Structure 1
Amino acid sequence: MKMISRATFALFIVAMLSSGIGESRKTKIVTTSFEYNAINCRAHTASLTDFGGVGDGTTSNTKAFQAAISNLSEYSSNGGSELYVPAGKWLTGSFSLISHFTLYLDKDAVLLASQDMSEWPVLSPLPSYGRGRDAPAGRYQSFIFGTNLTDVIITGQNGTIDGQGAFWWQQFHRKKLKYTRPYLIELMFSDNIQISSLTLLNSPSWNVHPVYSSNIIVQGITIIAPVSSPNTDGINPDSCTNIRIEDCYIVSGDDCVAVKSGWDEYGIKFGWPTKQLAIRRLTCISPYSATIALGSEMSGGIQDVRAEDITAIQTESGVRIKTAAGRGGFVKDIYVKRMNLHTMKWAFKMTGDYNSHADSHYDPNALPEIKGINYRDVVAENVTIAARFEGISNDPFTGICIANVTIGLSAKAKKQPWTCADIEGMTSGVTPPPCSLLPDQGPEKISACDFPQEPLPIDSLELKKCASSVLLS
């Protein structure tokens, strides 16, 4: 096994050169060096091939990943460790990460998700959901998984994680699954997380799911799945605090970013909101879903979301709030600016009729609180409906603010571009003119709806420059 620290590696090379061992044994030693930006650097590095990994696309590497990560766990309190995945196609089932650990994928490395269901452990439902989303029973463990961790990095040179989701989509459509489909990356009850510089393909369901976690950076991720694939959401922060999502490109069969916090009575009882979330420089294509969705599982609450510099093309809606009586919780202090929308059904959608419930035990009197929703500096073209804003009877959505927004309607646009009911708010400089429940307050209010001045805590986190080397033979 060739697991090395940087100091040990340097001494090894000096000894080899001075003794001529490398030449006399005619052993070809290849050194691979790589650099990346990360929340923390590691003192110890190993390659998956050190633990019997075979990158031929057909050999199962589940045991190799498990052995590598188990072995590297001894360094968790001694500078941390990183596992390098070389070029190749690495077939594997689900595997779990450890604290103070980096999983690094070479630019030509492809992780292939196994279609052998025996390589996917089954977990209990998430406590804030009370049941699986696909089925009432448990759920398959996500492809790359971790719980109760700190300081975890999944990154690379834009290496690929391929969920081979067609297998799962077919099972889902045929109603053959006893358990909920796995996600591609899921970290639970964890802190200090970085997921960056990767391509994620064909997830069985959601792609990136941090849940019950904090201090999270998702950066430079490309996510691609067929637009007809079921529930292949891009990035779903769920009951999380202090998150930064930036510079991501997403093509999917569901919402590109879906902000969540638990489902009906289970989410209300668990009571963990998602808050302090920044979304920046996001590009989305999703013809049947939203660029940014808040809900529908929002029963623990969603607060202080700031999205800016967002582009959406051929996507159903720009920003969508999904809730219903029985959800409880809240969605408040939402700020969106500088959106460019091209060929949309709705620019904005906010409704209280999303009546998909975990079970029949929800409280119909648990009404959600929707207030402080701010949109400004939006340009849209080829839009069928400017907005649909429909609150809940006796529970209006309040504090809606829209300023400096121009929505160009398509040739097939509805005659009534705005639909409004049970809402309260104001507008300034909005075209086409909005509904009467959102009266124009004049040009002096054009500066309304702006972001809070104070930065989010996650913005103070600066990445370090890390350099590593690993021996391959």
Structure 2
Amino acid sequence: MSETRSVLLVDVLVLLALLGPTQWGAMGSSHCKRHNDEMIRPHSVTITEFGAVGDGVTLNTKAFQNAIFYLNSFADKGGAKLFVPAGRWLTGSFDLISHLTLWLDKGAVILGSTNTEDWPIVDPLPSYGRGRELPGRRHRSLIFGRNLTDVVITGENGTIDGQGSMWWERFRNKTLDYTRPHLVELMNSTGVVISNLTFLNSPFWTIHPIYCSHVIVQNVTIRAPLDSPNTDGIDPDSSDDVCIEDCYISTGDDVIAIKSGWDEYGISYGRPSKNIIIRRLIGETHSSGIAIGSEMSGGVSDVHAEDIVFFNSTTGIRIKTSPGRGGYVRNIFISNVSLANVKVAIRFTGRYGEHPDESYDPKAMPKIERITFKDIHGENITVAGLMEGIEGDNFINICLYNITLSVNSISPWNCSNVQGFSSLVFPQTCELLEESIFPDHCTECYHLLQEHRIRNKGARLLSWWTYLGT
């Protein structure tokens, strides 16, 4: 029996191998495994060693800058750690360096200055061509980094507070001179870990990795008032191999927004966002829970989101685009979503508008295809779906599977210029999507067929393993 068991074990391992990296890779999510934040840095200093005072009043920008300048000499010697102890540490914008851990102890609060002069003016992003809110340049983020490798922002649930109310009022009063700053922005960087912290009251988008690879955001809380303008939670932008998991986010704009550049500038820059995993996320917002776009001109692909809860929100999942965007959104798989008190569960907006200038090409049409929504359940939903594509540029292969929504509206679905399939959807979806997935259209539904294959093979493997144990 032991010899038979060994032979069958080899068969099992061979079958697992035959499933291949394509089937197992996305859900295995290897790029969610973190290493850097657990690394012991051989060199460490405390911000107080550079004259910082944690009274919430003294400006500590120079202390942060000097400490990081000093630690840069250890970048090629195993890296370094900047320790921020309990206290309230007021500061303006400062830069990070490679091979650095910025560690906030329990009770440590980094406070963004309320003086705009402490937030320097920098060039616009090349994939946007201008500031997102105003033409021209923009304010730099509170915590900023460019061309970095191996950078960690973590701690014992310390806090980074942007004190954004001053910026929100200037936005509402139309007295901004430049586009508002993010709370954290890292550019052209790789090996980024942001974990175990609370982020409050960002002036604009909260965490913004752009042109980055291998980014992990884990176990963070992000909060801003629900009426605060454009305080997105996490916005991966022209970035790849991104993992977002175990987060709670309550903000005034999109909880997660995946982007890749704006109209002709994003098309020209041509860097997509791809290989993005989002899981175990809880959020509320006056905007969308998970949004793709509207700036998606470099393309967005291979996004997997699962185990999501959104409540008291305007929209659950939304794709936003427009003629002039170009680019594409494809290979999106979102599953196991719970919604409560959400106005619109699923929304596609094909004419979002908002262009950087008059030089965009209105004939640059986005391509939206292979989008699968699976295992979505909702209570007190106003509208199940507003699925609005672009005339002459249909959004295709949209698949809805096992979706049950308690809907208040007498017209639960409103669809135009979309094409796709559905099975086990209640209330019954619109005519453009009502053709059944099974048995003829599984291959058009991104990831759905291979998931069923994996489950079926897994069930057979389990039964064989059970047999081996008898």
Q: 1:89 to 1:439 in 2, by over 3 A?
A: same
Matches within 5 A, 1:372-387: 372-387=370-385
Matches within 5 A, 1:308-457: 308-410=306-408, 413=409, 415-441=410-436, 450=447
- What is the SS of the residue equivalent to 2:88? strand
Match of 1:3 in 2: none
Query: 1-side partners of 2:166 and 2:430: how far apart?
Result: 46
Query: 1-side partners of 2:346 and 2:81: how far apart?
Result: 43
Query: 1-side partners of 2:250 and 2:158: how far apart?
Result: 17
Deviations for 1:43-94, whole angstroms, at most 9, x for unmatched residues?
1111001111100000000000000000000000001000000000000000
Q: Is the 8 A contact 1:402 1:449 kept in 2?
A: no
Whether 1:297 and 2:295 are equivalent positions in the alignment is yes
Deviations for 1:196-236, whole angstroms, at most 9, x for unmatched residues?
00100100010000000000000001000000000000000
Query: 2-side partners of 1:128 and 1:298: how far apart?
Result: 10
Query: 2-side partners of 1:135 and 1:396: how far apart?
Result: 32
Q: Is the 8 A contact 1:197 1:219 kept in 2?
A: yes
Q: Is the 8 A contact 2:289 2:313 kept in 1?
A: yes
Deviations for 1:91-141, whole angstroms, at most 9, x for unmatched residues?
000000000000000110000100122211110100000010121121111
Match of 2:109 in 1: 110
Query: 1-side partners of 2:400 and 2:355: how far apart?
Result: 31
Amino acid at match of 2:428: P
Amino acid at match of 2:302: D
* CA drift at 1:390: 1.1
Q: 1:113 to 1:442 in 2, by over 3 A?
A: closer
Matches within 5 A, 1:159-178: 159-178=158-177
Query: 2-side partners of 1:385 and 1:268: how far apart?
Result: 33
Q: Is the 8 A contact 1:210 1:236 kept in 2?
A: yes
Query: 2-side partners of 1:442 and 1:75: how far apart?
Result: 57
Q: Which is richer in strand?
A: 1
* CA drift at 1:317: 1.2
Query: 2-side partners of 1:129 and 1:112: how far apart?
Result: 28
Amino acid at match of 1:295: G
Match of 2:97 in 1: 98
Deviations for 1:261-283, whole angstroms, at most 9, x for unmatched residues?
00000000000000000000000
Q: 1:446 to 1:247 in 2, by over 3 A?
A: farther
* CA drift at 1:355: 0.7
Matches within 5 A, 1:211-360: 211-286=210-285, 288-360=286-358
- What is the SS of the residue equivalent to 2:71? helix
Query: 1-side partners of 2:422 and 2:218: how far apart?
Result: 33
Query: 1-side partners of 2:204 and 2:46: how far apart?
Result: 29
> TM-score w.r.t. structure 2 length?
0.86
Q: Is the 8 A contact 1:403 1:449 kept in 2?
A: no
- What is the SS of the residue equivalent to 2:431? coil
Deviations for 1:353-409, whole angstroms, at most 9, x for unmatched residues?
101111111000000000000000010110111101111111000010110000111
Deviations for 1:414-459, whole angstroms, at most 9, x for unmatched residues?
x21111111110000000001111124176689865466699xxxx
Q: 1:135 to 1:39 in 2, by over 3 A?
A: farther
* CA drift at 1:40: 3.6
Q: Is the 8 A contact 2:191 2:213 kept in 1?
A: yes
Query: 2-side partners of 1:108 and 1:345: how far apart?
Result: 37
Q: Is the 8 A contact 1:401 1:425 kept in 2?
A: yes
Q: Is the 8 A contact 2:217 2:243 kept in 1?
A: yes
Amino acid at match of 1:111: I
Query: 1-side partners of 2:193 and 2:440: how far apart?
Result: 39
Match of 1:53 in 2: 52
Q: 1:357 to 1:177 in 2, by over 3 A?
A: same
Overall identity of the aligned pairs, in %: 52
CA RMSD of the aligned region, Å? 1.7
Query: 2-side partners of 1:446 and 1:233: how far apart?
Result: 36
Amino acid at match of 1:424: Q
Query: 2-side partners of 1:445 and 1:190: how far apart?
Result: 44
Match of 2:199 in 1: 200
- What is the SS of the residue equivalent to 2:381? strand
> TM-score w.r.t. structure 1 length?
0.86
Amino acid at match of 2:219: G
* CA drift at 1:245: 0.1
- What is the SS of the residue equivalent to 1:238? coil
Q: Is the 8 A contact 1:223 1:249 kept in 2?
A: yes
- What is the SS of the residue equivalent to 1:38? helix
Q: Which is richer in helix?
A: 2
**How many residues are treated as equivalent by the alignment?**
416
Amino acid at match of 1:253: G
* CA drift at 1:311: 0.1
- What is the SS of the residue equivalent to 1:171? helix
Q: Is the 8 A contact 1:428 1:446 kept in 2?
A: no
Query: 2-side partners of 1:249 and 1:37: how far apart?
Result: 22
- What is the SS of the residue equivalent to 1:437? helix
Match of 2:22 in 1: none
Query: 1-side partners of 2:169 and 2:198: how far apart?
Result: 23
Match of 1:64 in 2: 63
Matches within 5 A, 1:26-37: none
Match of 1:121 in 2: 120
Q: Is the 8 A contact 2:332 2:446 kept in 1?
A: no
Query: 1-side partners of 2:126 and 2:75: how far apart?
Result: 28
Q: Is the 8 A contact 2:420 2:435 kept in 1?
A: no
- What is the SS of the residue equivalent to 2:63? helix
Match of 1:21 in 2: none
